[in-house]
Chain A
């Protein structure tokens, strides 16, 4: 078994308003010289430290937990997960 860090990003689905991202964009970033920035999405990141056989089983296990424990609300949110080695995270 190896320790992995599975990073889960929770963010709003398209079409769900994101006032935090909009505020950061309109009232901070675009007030500088960053006119090429088109959109900012805010979100939450959770890092799971998990012992598993390999990266795939680590990611699958964390995704299963996120679904079963309603770590995100599928009505309005989506998640993406990436796996890293403990030493690199």
Chain B
């Protein structure tokens, strides 16, 4: 059982994610450089946060053309759980694996603060141990986190239950306060906030348990005893 953590030039949350997966949740994890292929025995994939290629042109767009993305697309088709956090979410959107786009925050500021998420879909591989409408105290850290889709696509997301997380309050101008979505099959999830920065009580004084459940959901999905 192995989780692949994808590393791009400019990723900076890859080691935090690896630490949480391995040290906190006892999962086997391995880094994969963006130019390499992914082996077939990977059970889940995480695209961590950061500033791939310095956010040149548009956050995530250059990384979305990396060689490893074609393997990730094949894994997505097979139903393997894939999580993109922050820049990872932006990459999944630009790669066409998730709907929508992440625009500059309405304030034009880089936002680094604690916020509350509300769980809107607890059927995904990363939310199946959370309750519907459960509150998750979690930090955001991004400049391009304003989720946008047109009305037609938004309706489709609602009908297909593809909105996974929303912000409790207006944060950055996202459509319907969306903070995370999934693909139509539910196995590919993207979210702007950082669960890897909130899943340990030492760094989350509010409540680390809800973010922990994101990782415990994955453990339940891929069948690893914790």
Cβ of B216 within 8 Å of any chain A Cβ, yes or no, is: no
Chain B contributes a number of interface residues (CB within 8 A of A) equal to 17
* Chain B residue nearest to A44 in the complex (CB): B57
Cβ of A16 within 8 Å of any chain B Cβ, yes or no, is: yes
A75 CA to B154 CA, complexed, in Å: 13
Do A75 and B106 touch (CB < 8 A)? no
Do B101 and A17 touch (CB < 8 A)? no
For residue A19, which residues in chain B have a CB less than 8 angstroms away from its CB? Answer: 104, 106-108, 173
* Chain B residue nearest to A73 in the complex (CB): B101
Do B173 and A70 touch (CB < 8 A)? no
Cβ of B141 within 8 Å of any chain A Cβ, yes or no, is: no
If A16-B148, A76-B148 touch, whether A23 touches B108 (CB-CB below 8 Å) is yes
- Which residues of chain A (14-45) have a CB below 8 Å from chain B? 16-17, 19-20, 23, 44
CB distance from B121 to the nearest CB of A (A): 22
Cβ of A65 within 8 Å of any chain B Cβ, yes or no, is: no
Cβ of B111 within 8 Å of any chain A Cβ, yes or no, is: no
A77 CA to B104 CA, complexed, in Å: 13
- Which residues of chain B (71-117) have a CB below 8 Å from chain A? 94, 100-101, 103-104, 106-108
Q: Name A's interface SS.
A: loop
Cβ of A1 within 8 Å of any chain B Cβ, yes or no, is: no
Cβ of A71 within 8 Å of any chain B Cβ, yes or no, is: yes
Q: Which of A17, A69, A70, A73 contacts B106 (CB 8 A)?
A: A17
* Chain A residue nearest to B107 in the complex (CB): A19
> Which of B57, B108, B148, B150 has the most chain A CB atoms inside 10 A of its CB?
B57
Do A20 and B61 touch (CB < 8 A)? no
Do B103 and A76 touch (CB < 8 A)? yes
For residue B65, which residues in chain A have a CB less than 8 angstroms away from its CB? Answer: 69-70
A16 CA to B86 CA, complexed, in Å: 22
For residue A73, which residues in chain B have a CB less than 8 angstroms away from its CB? Answer: 58, 61, 94, 101
Residue positions of A touching B, CB distance < 8 A: 16-17, 19-20, 23, 44, 69-71, 73, 75-76
Between A and B, 24 residue pairs with Cβ closer than 8 Å are A16-B103, A17-B106, A19-B104, A19-B106, A19-B107, A19-B108, A19-B173, A20-B104, A23-B108, A44-B57, A69-B65, A70-B61, A70-B65, A70-B94, A71-B57, A73-B61, A73-B94, A73-B101, A75-B100, A75-B148, A75-B149, A76-B101, A76-B103, A76-B148
